Amino acid sequence: MIRWLLPLYRIGILIAVAWILREHAIRVRFEGFRPITVTEIREVLPAAAALVPDTSERAGADVLDTAGTKIGYVLQTAPASDSIIGYRGWTNTLVVFDGALRVVGVRIRLSQDTEDHVTDVKADSYFMKTWNGKSWNTVAGETPQDAGIEGVSGATMTSLAMAEGIQRRLLEANAQIAKPPPQWRFAERDAGLIAFLAAAIWLAFRGTHGRKWVRIAFQCIAIGYVGFWNGDLLAQSLFVGWAQNGIPYRLAPGLVLMLATALIIPWTTGKPLYCQHVCPHGHAQELLSRVLPARWRTHLPKGIAAGLRWLPPLTLGCVLIVAILALPADLAGMEPFDAYLLKRAGWATIAIAAAGLVASLFVPMAYCHYGCPTGALLNFIRKRGTADRFGRREIAALLLVALAAFLSWKSGAMRLWIESPASDWIL
Protein backbone atom coordinates (compact mmCIF):
# COMPACT_ATOMS: atom_id res chain seq x y z
CA MET A 1 0.00 0.00 0.00
CA ILE A 2 2.85 2.41 0.90
CA ARG A 3 4.37 1.87 -2.54
CA TRP A 4 1.21 3.33 -4.09
CA LEU A 5 0.49 6.00 -1.50
CA LEU A 6 3.94 7.63 -1.53
CA PRO A 7 3.97 8.42 -5.28
CA LEU A 8 0.46 9.85 -4.95
CA TYR A 9 1.54 11.87 -1.92
CA ARG A 10 4.53 13.30 -3.79
CA ILE A 11 2.64 14.29 -6.90
CA GLY A 12 -0.06 15.67 -4.63
CA ILE A 13 2.51 17.90 -2.94
CA LEU A 14 3.57 19.25 -6.32
CA ILE A 15 -0.03 19.86 -7.38
CA ALA A 16 -0.81 21.56 -4.05
CA VAL A 17 2.05 24.05 -4.41
CA ALA A 18 1.15 24.78 -8.04
CA TRP A 19 -2.50 25.30 -7.05
CA ILE A 20 -1.56 27.71 -4.24
CA LEU A 21 0.65 29.70 -6.62
CA ARG A 22 -2.12 29.81 -9.24
CA GLU A 23 -4.91 30.81 -6.86
CA HIS A 24 -2.70 33.40 -5.22
CA ALA A 25 -1.79 34.92 -8.60
CA ILE A 26 -5.47 35.14 -9.61
CA ARG A 27 -6.38 36.76 -6.29
CA VAL A 28 -3.52 39.26 -6.48
CA ARG A 29 -4.56 40.26 -10.00
CA PHE A 30 -7.96 41.15 -8.57
CA GLU A 31 -7.26 42.58 -5.14
CA GLY A 32 -3.52 43.22 -4.99
CA PHE A 33 -1.98 42.54 -1.61
CA ARG A 34 -4.82 44.18 0.34
CA PRO A 35 -7.86 41.89 0.12
CA ILE A 36 -11.14 43.46 -0.95
CA THR A 37 -13.88 42.60 1.52
CA VAL A 38 -17.60 42.09 1.04
CA THR A 39 -18.13 44.86 3.60
CA GLU A 40 -16.55 47.38 1.20
CA ILE A 41 -18.84 46.26 -1.60
CA ARG A 42 -21.95 46.47 0.58
CA GLU A 43 -21.44 50.22 0.82
CA VAL A 44 -22.44 50.28 -2.86
CA LEU A 45 -24.32 46.99 -3.32
CA PRO A 46 -26.07 46.23 0.01
CA ALA A 47 -27.10 42.73 -1.16
CA ALA A 48 -23.48 41.61 -1.74
CA ALA A 49 -22.67 38.35 0.06
CA ALA A 50 -19.64 36.90 -1.71
CA LEU A 51 -16.88 37.67 -4.21
CA VAL A 52 -15.67 35.22 -6.85
CA PRO A 53 -12.42 36.24 -8.61
CA ASP A 54 -12.71 36.48 -12.38
CA THR A 55 -9.96 34.61 -14.27
CA SER A 56 -10.59 36.56 -17.48
CA GLU A 57 -8.59 39.56 -18.63
CA ARG A 58 -10.90 41.93 -16.74
CA ALA A 59 -9.15 40.68 -13.58
CA GLY A 60 -11.94 41.70 -11.24
CA ALA A 61 -14.52 39.67 -9.34
CA ASP A 62 -18.18 38.79 -9.65
CA VAL A 63 -20.36 39.99 -6.79
CA LEU A 64 -22.91 37.41 -5.62
CA ASP A 65 -25.91 37.73 -3.33
CA THR A 66 -26.94 35.19 -0.66
CA ALA A 67 -28.61 33.02 -3.31
CA GLY A 68 -25.44 32.86 -5.38
CA THR A 69 -26.84 35.10 -8.11
CA LYS A 70 -24.48 37.54 -9.79
CA ILE A 71 -25.55 41.08 -8.95
CA GLY A 72 -22.46 43.04 -9.92
CA TYR A 73 -18.79 43.20 -10.73
CA VAL A 74 -15.91 44.89 -8.90
CA LEU A 75 -12.31 45.78 -9.58
CA GLN A 76 -9.61 48.08 -8.28
CA THR A 77 -7.40 50.32 -10.37
CA ALA A 78 -4.06 49.13 -8.97
CA PRO A 79 -1.56 48.26 -10.31
CA ALA A 80 -2.53 50.10 -13.52
CA SER A 81 -2.89 53.35 -11.57
CA ASP A 82 0.34 53.00 -9.57
CA SER A 83 2.33 55.12 -12.02
CA ILE A 84 -0.25 57.95 -12.09
CA ILE A 85 0.85 60.47 -9.49
CA GLY A 86 -1.50 63.10 -8.11
CA TYR A 87 -0.08 65.72 -5.80
CA ARG A 88 2.55 63.46 -4.28
CA GLY A 89 1.47 59.81 -4.80
CA TRP A 90 -0.86 57.30 -6.42
CA THR A 91 -4.48 56.49 -5.54
CA ASN A 92 -6.01 53.02 -5.77
CA THR A 93 -9.76 53.18 -6.48
CA LEU A 94 -12.47 50.56 -6.10
CA VAL A 95 -14.95 50.56 -9.00
CA VAL A 96 -18.26 48.73 -8.56
CA PHE A 97 -20.55 47.80 -11.48
CA ASP A 98 -24.01 46.31 -11.66
CA GLY A 99 -24.76 43.08 -13.50
CA ALA A 100 -24.85 44.92 -16.85
CA LEU A 101 -21.40 46.45 -16.22
CA ARG A 102 -22.68 49.96 -15.50
CA VAL A 103 -20.90 51.84 -12.74
CA VAL A 104 -22.87 52.08 -9.50
CA GLY A 105 -20.16 53.56 -7.31
CA VAL A 106 -16.47 54.24 -6.74
CA ARG A 107 -14.51 54.33 -3.50
CA ILE A 108 -10.90 55.24 -2.67
CA ARG A 109 -9.29 52.15 -1.19
CA LEU A 110 -5.73 53.29 -0.60
CA SER A 111 -3.66 56.35 -1.39
CA GLN A 112 -0.17 57.72 -0.93
CA ASP A 113 -1.35 61.24 -1.73
CA THR A 114 -1.67 64.03 0.82
CA GLU A 115 -4.22 63.13 3.49
CA ASP A 116 -6.11 66.44 3.26
CA HIS A 117 -6.44 66.11 -0.51
CA VAL A 118 -7.74 62.55 -0.28
CA THR A 119 -10.23 63.60 2.40
CA ASP A 120 -11.50 66.42 0.19
CA VAL A 121 -12.01 64.04 -2.73
CA LYS A 122 -13.90 61.54 -0.59
CA ALA A 123 -16.14 64.31 0.76
CA ASP A 124 -17.10 65.61 -2.69
CA SER A 125 -20.19 63.50 -3.40
CA TYR A 126 -20.72 65.13 -6.81
CA PHE A 127 -17.26 64.12 -7.98
CA MET A 128 -17.50 60.61 -6.52
CA LYS A 129 -20.71 60.04 -8.51
CA THR A 130 -19.17 61.22 -11.81
CA TRP A 131 -19.08 57.69 -13.27
CA ASN A 132 -22.40 56.40 -11.93
CA GLY A 133 -24.66 54.99 -14.64
CA LYS A 134 -21.93 54.89 -17.28
CA SER A 135 -21.06 51.62 -19.00
CA TRP A 136 -17.67 49.96 -18.86
CA ASN A 137 -16.84 50.92 -22.45
CA THR A 138 -18.01 54.51 -21.99
CA VAL A 139 -15.70 55.00 -19.02
CA ALA A 140 -12.84 53.30 -20.85
CA GLY A 141 -13.34 55.48 -23.92
CA GLU A 142 -13.45 58.86 -22.18
CA THR A 143 -10.45 60.75 -20.90
CA PRO A 144 -11.15 62.95 -17.86
CA GLN A 145 -11.16 65.93 -20.23
CA ASP A 146 -13.64 64.22 -22.61
CA ALA A 147 -15.92 63.47 -19.67
CA GLY A 148 -15.75 67.08 -18.50
CA ILE A 149 -14.07 66.16 -15.22
CA GLU A 150 -12.44 69.27 -13.77
CA GLY A 151 -11.46 67.80 -10.46
CA VAL A 152 -12.18 68.68 -6.84
CA SER A 153 -11.40 72.23 -5.77
CA GLY A 154 -8.31 72.21 -3.59
CA ALA A 155 -7.46 68.63 -4.59
CA THR A 156 -7.40 68.91 -8.37
CA MET A 157 -4.28 66.82 -8.97
CA THR A 158 -5.43 64.03 -6.65
CA SER A 159 -8.91 63.80 -8.17
CA LEU A 160 -7.69 63.95 -11.78
CA ALA A 161 -5.11 61.24 -11.05
CA MET A 162 -7.93 59.11 -9.65
CA ALA A 163 -10.03 59.70 -12.78
CA GLU A 164 -7.15 58.88 -15.09
CA GLY A 165 -6.41 55.73 -13.09
CA ILE A 166 -9.99 54.48 -13.54
CA GLN A 167 -9.86 54.99 -17.30
CA ARG A 168 -6.42 53.42 -17.66
CA ARG A 169 -7.46 50.35 -15.70
CA LEU A 170 -10.44 49.69 -17.96
CA LEU A 171 -8.48 50.49 -21.12
CA GLU A 172 -5.76 47.99 -20.20
CA ALA A 173 -8.38 45.32 -19.54
CA ASN A 174 -10.03 46.01 -22.91
CA ALA A 175 -6.66 45.80 -24.66
CA GLN A 176 -6.05 42.37 -23.13
CA ILE A 177 -9.55 41.19 -24.01
CA ALA A 178 -9.08 42.32 -27.63
CA LYS A 179 -5.90 40.28 -28.09
CA PRO A 180 -6.53 37.24 -30.30
CA PRO A 181 -5.93 33.87 -28.62
CA PRO A 182 -2.44 32.49 -29.19
CA GLN A 183 -2.14 30.33 -32.27
CA TRP A 184 -0.49 26.94 -32.35
CA ARG A 185 3.16 27.33 -33.20
CA PHE A 186 5.49 24.46 -33.96
CA ALA A 187 8.94 25.80 -34.76
CA GLU A 188 12.23 24.18 -35.63
CA ARG A 189 13.38 24.51 -32.03
CA ASP A 190 10.37 22.44 -30.92
CA ALA A 191 11.13 19.72 -33.46
CA GLY A 192 14.78 19.68 -32.45
CA LEU A 193 13.93 19.52 -28.76
CA ILE A 194 11.46 16.66 -29.29
CA ALA A 195 14.04 14.73 -31.32
CA PHE A 196 16.59 15.22 -28.55
CA LEU A 197 14.07 14.08 -25.92
CA ALA A 198 13.37 10.92 -27.92
CA ALA A 199 17.09 10.15 -28.00
CA ALA A 200 17.40 10.87 -24.27
CA ILE A 201 14.51 8.50 -23.48
CA TRP A 202 16.12 5.81 -25.62
CA LEU A 203 19.42 6.19 -23.77
CA ALA A 204 17.68 6.24 -20.39
CA PHE A 205 16.10 2.84 -20.99
CA ARG A 206 18.62 1.16 -23.31
CA GLY A 207 21.91 2.62 -22.12
CA THR A 208 25.12 2.88 -24.15
CA HIS A 209 26.17 -0.78 -23.66
CA GLY A 210 29.74 0.15 -22.77
CA ARG A 211 30.20 2.53 -25.67
CA LYS A 212 31.57 5.47 -23.75
CA TRP A 213 31.93 7.61 -26.85
CA VAL A 214 28.14 7.53 -27.39
CA ARG A 215 27.58 9.03 -23.95
CA ILE A 216 30.23 11.72 -24.47
CA ALA A 217 28.88 12.65 -27.91
CA PHE A 218 25.37 12.89 -26.50
CA GLN A 219 26.60 15.10 -23.66
CA CYS A 220 28.28 17.47 -26.10
CA ILE A 221 25.06 17.71 -28.11
CA ALA A 222 23.10 18.44 -24.93
CA ILE A 223 25.46 21.23 -23.91
CA GLY A 224 25.76 22.72 -27.38
CA TYR A 225 22.23 22.36 -28.70
CA VAL A 226 19.90 22.23 -25.68
CA GLY A 227 22.04 24.63 -23.63
CA PHE A 228 23.68 27.25 -25.81
CA TRP A 229 21.65 27.00 -29.02
CA ASN A 230 18.07 26.15 -28.02
CA GLY A 231 18.13 27.47 -24.46
CA ASP A 232 14.89 25.74 -23.39
CA LEU A 233 15.76 24.50 -19.91
CA LEU A 234 13.68 23.62 -16.89
CA ALA A 235 14.11 26.01 -13.96
CA GLN A 236 12.27 27.40 -10.97
CA SER A 237 11.49 30.64 -12.83
CA LEU A 238 9.73 28.53 -15.48
CA PHE A 239 7.79 26.42 -12.95
CA VAL A 240 6.59 29.48 -11.03
CA GLY A 241 5.63 31.40 -14.17
CA TRP A 242 3.63 28.50 -15.59
CA ALA A 243 1.94 27.77 -12.25
CA GLN A 244 0.87 31.40 -11.93
CA ASN A 245 -0.08 32.17 -15.53
CA GLY A 246 -0.83 28.88 -17.23
CA ILE A 247 1.10 26.48 -19.46
CA PRO A 248 1.86 27.88 -22.94
CA TYR A 249 1.31 24.61 -24.79
CA ARG A 250 0.40 26.47 -27.99
CA LEU A 251 3.56 28.57 -28.10
CA ALA A 252 6.16 26.17 -26.70
CA PRO A 253 5.04 22.57 -27.30
CA GLY A 254 8.59 21.24 -27.18
CA LEU A 255 9.33 22.76 -23.80
CA VAL A 256 5.95 21.64 -22.42
CA LEU A 257 6.70 18.09 -23.57
CA MET A 258 10.10 18.30 -21.89
CA LEU A 259 8.47 19.22 -18.59
CA ALA A 260 5.88 16.45 -18.98
CA THR A 261 8.51 13.78 -19.59
CA ALA A 262 10.74 15.14 -16.81
CA LEU A 263 7.87 14.62 -14.35
CA ILE A 264 6.06 11.55 -15.67
CA ILE A 265 8.99 9.26 -16.47
CA PRO A 266 10.70 9.42 -13.05
CA TRP A 267 7.32 9.29 -11.28
CA THR A 268 6.24 6.12 -13.12
CA THR A 269 9.53 4.32 -13.82
CA GLY A 270 12.11 5.75 -11.42
CA LYS A 271 14.37 6.83 -14.31
CA PRO A 272 15.82 10.34 -13.61
CA LEU A 273 15.46 11.33 -17.24
CA TYR A 274 16.03 15.09 -17.10
CA CYS A 275 18.85 15.23 -14.58
CA GLN A 276 20.91 12.38 -16.04
CA HIS A 277 20.18 12.64 -19.74
CA VAL A 278 18.87 16.11 -20.66
CA CYS A 279 20.24 18.85 -18.38
CA PRO A 280 23.24 20.57 -20.04
CA HIS A 281 24.65 21.71 -16.69
CA GLY A 282 24.64 18.16 -15.40
CA HIS A 283 26.45 16.94 -18.52
CA ALA A 284 29.00 19.76 -18.22
CA GLN A 285 29.76 18.77 -14.64
CA GLU A 286 30.16 15.12 -15.59
CA LEU A 287 32.58 15.94 -18.41
CA LEU A 288 34.63 18.29 -16.21
CA SER A 289 34.93 15.66 -13.49
CA ARG A 290 37.17 13.73 -15.91
CA VAL A 291 39.57 16.63 -16.47
CA LEU A 292 41.63 16.32 -13.29
CA PRO A 293 43.28 13.10 -12.09
CA ALA A 294 41.12 10.86 -9.93
CA ARG A 295 43.40 11.44 -6.92
CA TRP A 296 42.34 15.10 -6.89
CA ARG A 297 38.71 14.19 -6.35
CA THR A 298 37.37 14.34 -2.85
CA HIS A 299 34.32 13.34 -0.89
CA LEU A 300 32.88 15.81 1.54
CA PRO A 301 32.76 14.82 5.23
CA LYS A 302 29.47 13.20 6.10
CA GLY A 303 28.31 16.05 8.34
CA ILE A 304 29.07 18.75 5.76
CA ALA A 305 27.44 16.74 2.98
CA ALA A 306 24.32 16.20 5.09
CA GLY A 307 24.13 19.92 5.84
CA LEU A 308 24.59 20.95 2.22
CA ARG A 309 21.76 18.65 1.13
CA TRP A 310 19.38 21.06 2.88
CA LEU A 311 20.41 23.85 0.49
CA PRO A 312 18.04 22.85 -2.37
CA PRO A 313 14.89 22.69 -0.19
CA LEU A 314 15.87 25.96 1.47
CA THR A 315 16.27 27.48 -1.99
CA LEU A 316 12.81 26.20 -2.89
CA GLY A 317 11.52 27.98 0.20
CA CYS A 318 13.17 31.20 -0.98
CA VAL A 319 11.57 30.73 -4.41
CA LEU A 320 8.13 30.54 -2.78
CA ILE A 321 8.81 33.67 -0.72
CA VAL A 322 9.92 35.66 -3.77
CA ALA A 323 7.08 34.38 -5.96
CA ILE A 324 4.20 34.81 -3.53
CA LEU A 325 5.29 38.14 -2.09
CA ALA A 326 6.31 39.42 -5.56
CA LEU A 327 9.68 40.55 -4.24
CA PRO A 328 12.04 42.35 -6.66
CA ALA A 329 14.34 39.37 -7.11
CA ASP A 330 15.04 37.42 -10.29
CA LEU A 331 14.27 33.73 -9.77
CA ALA A 332 16.52 32.89 -12.72
CA GLY A 333 19.41 34.31 -10.69
CA MET A 334 19.01 31.55 -8.11
CA GLU A 335 20.07 28.86 -10.60
CA PRO A 336 22.80 28.50 -13.24
CA PHE A 337 20.67 27.63 -16.25
CA ASP A 338 20.29 31.09 -17.77
CA ALA A 339 24.08 31.27 -17.99
CA TYR A 340 23.79 29.18 -21.17
CA LEU A 341 21.78 32.01 -22.74
CA LEU A 342 24.77 34.31 -22.99
CA LYS A 343 22.88 37.35 -24.29
CA ARG A 344 20.58 37.58 -21.28
CA ALA A 345 22.53 35.90 -18.49
CA GLY A 346 22.86 37.92 -15.30
CA TRP A 347 25.95 38.02 -13.12
CA ALA A 348 24.32 36.01 -10.33
CA THR A 349 23.42 33.22 -12.77
CA ILE A 350 26.90 33.22 -14.28
CA ALA A 351 28.51 33.14 -10.81
CA ILE A 352 26.39 30.17 -9.71
CA ALA A 353 27.12 28.31 -12.94
CA ALA A 354 30.86 28.95 -12.71
CA ALA A 355 31.02 27.98 -9.03
CA GLY A 356 29.15 24.75 -9.70
CA LEU A 357 31.43 23.81 -12.60
CA VAL A 358 34.62 24.55 -10.66
CA ALA A 359 33.35 22.56 -7.68
CA SER A 360 32.61 19.58 -9.96
CA LEU A 361 36.33 19.34 -10.77
CA PHE A 362 36.92 18.19 -7.20
CA VAL A 363 33.51 16.93 -6.00
CA PRO A 364 31.76 14.99 -8.78
CA MET A 365 28.36 16.48 -9.70
CA ALA A 366 28.68 18.94 -6.82
CA TYR A 367 25.91 21.30 -7.89
CA CYS A 368 23.52 18.47 -8.74
CA HIS A 369 23.99 16.83 -5.34
CA TYR A 370 24.16 19.88 -3.10
CA GLY A 371 22.76 22.95 -4.86
CA CYS A 372 20.09 22.30 -7.47
CA PRO A 373 16.47 23.06 -6.41
CA THR A 374 15.07 21.94 -9.76
CA GLY A 375 16.91 18.63 -9.49
CA ALA A 376 15.68 18.23 -5.91
CA LEU A 377 12.08 18.76 -7.06
CA LEU A 378 12.37 16.23 -9.89
CA ASN A 379 14.15 13.76 -7.62
CA PHE A 380 11.45 14.16 -4.97
CA ILE A 381 8.71 12.69 -7.17
CA ARG A 382 10.92 9.83 -8.48
CA LYS A 383 9.67 6.31 -7.90
CA ARG A 384 12.00 4.29 -5.66
CA GLY A 385 10.56 0.79 -5.65
CA THR A 386 10.19 -1.53 -2.68
CA ALA A 387 12.75 0.38 -0.59
CA ASP A 388 10.65 3.55 -0.66
CA ARG A 389 9.85 5.07 2.72
CA PHE A 390 8.22 8.17 4.13
CA GLY A 391 11.12 10.26 5.46
CA ARG A 392 12.60 13.68 6.00
CA ARG A 393 12.25 14.56 2.33
CA GLU A 394 8.48 14.09 2.50
CA ILE A 395 8.23 16.07 5.75
CA ALA A 396 10.26 18.92 4.23
CA ALA A 397 7.95 18.94 1.18
CA LEU A 398 4.89 19.18 3.41
CA LEU A 399 6.51 22.10 5.23
CA LEU A 400 6.98 23.85 1.88
CA VAL A 401 3.25 23.47 1.18
CA ALA A 402 2.52 24.93 4.61
CA LEU A 403 4.93 27.81 3.90
CA ALA A 404 3.24 28.54 0.56
CA ALA A 405 -0.22 28.52 2.18
CA PHE A 406 0.93 30.79 5.02
CA LEU A 407 2.63 33.25 2.67
CA SER A 408 -0.47 33.43 0.48
CA TRP A 409 -2.68 33.99 3.52
CA LYS A 410 -0.53 36.73 5.02
CA SER A 411 0.90 38.18 1.81
CA GLY A 412 -1.05 41.44 2.06
CA ALA A 413 0.20 42.30 5.54
CA MET A 414 3.75 41.28 4.63
CA ARG A 415 3.81 43.38 1.47
CA LEU A 416 2.45 46.47 3.20
CA TRP A 417 5.05 46.08 5.93
CA ILE A 418 7.85 45.63 3.38
CA GLU A 419 6.87 48.48 1.08
CA SER A 420 6.29 51.35 3.45
CA PRO A 421 5.66 52.41 7.05
CA ALA A 422 1.98 52.50 7.96
CA SER A 423 2.07 56.30 8.19
CA ASP A 424 2.57 56.54 4.43
CA TRP A 425 -0.76 54.91 3.65
CA ILE A 426 -4.10 56.72 3.69
CA LEU A 427 -7.01 54.27 3.93
pLDDT tens for each residue of 214-266: 999 999 999 999 999 998 899 999 999 999 989 999 989 999 999 999 999 99
Last residue of a domain, one of 123, 155, 178: 178
pLDDT value of position 420 = 64
Do residue 168 and residue 215 come from a single domain? no
Instruction: Give the amino acid at 287.
Output: L
pTM of the model: 0.82
Do residue 139 and residue 196 come from a single domain? no
- Whether 203 has a pLDDT exceeding 80, the answer reads yes
- For residue 169, being part of any structural domain is answered with yes
- For residue 329, being part of any structural domain is answered with yes
pLDDT value of position 422 = 47
- For residue 38, being part of any structural domain is answered with yes
High-pLDDT (> 70) share of the chain, %: 97
Nearest-CA neighbor of 176 among 80, 92, 272? Answer: 80
Do residue 321 and residue 230 come from a single domain? yes
Do residue 193 and residue 75 come from a single domain? no
| Number of structural domains found in the chain | 2
Distance from C-alpha of 364 to C-alpha of 360, rounded to nearest angstrom:
5
Do residue 253 and residue 375 come from a single domain? yes
- For residue 26, being part of any structural domain is answered with no
Do residue 228 and residue 172 come from a single domain? no
High-pLDDT (> 90) share of the chain, %: 61
Q: Who's near 137: CB < 8 A, 6+ residues apart? A: 174
Tens-digit pLDDT profile for residues 146-156: 778 878 888 88
- In our burial notation (b when 16+ CB lie closer than 10 A, e otherwise), range 364-382 reads bbbbbbbbbbbbbbbbbbb
- For residue 158, being part of any structural domain is answered with yes
- Confidence band (pLDDT; 50, 70, 90) for 354? very high
Q: Is the dihedral of CA 361, 362, 364, 366 positive or negative?
A: negative
- For residue 342, being part of any structural domain is answered with yes
User: Could you list the residue range(s) of the whole structural domain that residue 135 is in?
Assistant: 32-178
Do residue 313 and residue 364 come from a single domain? yes
Do residue 237 and residue 140 come from a single domain? no
Do residue 201 and residue 123 come from a single domain? no
Do residue 150 and residue 228 come from a single domain? no
Q: Are 318 and 334 in contact (CB under 8 A)?
A: yes
- Whether 425 has a pLDDT exceeding 60, the answer reads no
Most confident of 312-316, 325-329, 418-422: 312-316
Do residue 168 and residue 194 come from a single domain? no
